[in-house]
Amino acid sequence: MRLDVPGIDPQSLDVSVDADRLSVKGERKSSREEDKGGRSYREVVYGAFERTVTLPWDVDADSVKATCKDGVLEISIKTPEKVGAKKIPIVP
């Protein structure tokens, strides 16, 4: 899974797994100051977000890996050995 998180400090991101749900939380905080012609301007941008995705199987939390580089959060999840349908034999 890849999420664009431009301008967000990777240390302020929270990735968690609970059975078959993967959650990502974060908060964007930035400010900019500018002095022009004897006047000072300050712009503050902030906002929190949370995204939860339901996966088709339960996840082993120890198998989840997350990296953040150049504003892209990448989460890798190991799939279980057997995913999908299982044929059930019929006993006569």
Output the pTM of the full model. 0.69
Looking at residue 66, its pLDDT comes to 93
Distance, CA of 7 to CA of 28 (rounded, Å):
7
Query: Which residue in the block uniquely carries the two structure tokens 């906002």?
Result: 47
How many residues are given for the chain? Answer: 92
Q: Alpha-carbon distance 20 to 25, whole Å? A: 17
Check residue 82 and give its pLDDT. Answer: 64
Instruction: Return d(Cα 72, Cα 64) in angstroms, integer.
Output: 16
Output the CA torsion 61→67→72→75 (10° steps): -20
Structural tokens at position 39: 């006047």
39-91 per-position pLDDT tens digit: 988 888 888 999 999 988 888 888 889 999 998 999 998 877 766 666 777 77
pLDDT at residue 2 greater than cutoff 90:
yes
Domains defined for the chain, CATH in brackets = 2-76 (2.60.40.790)
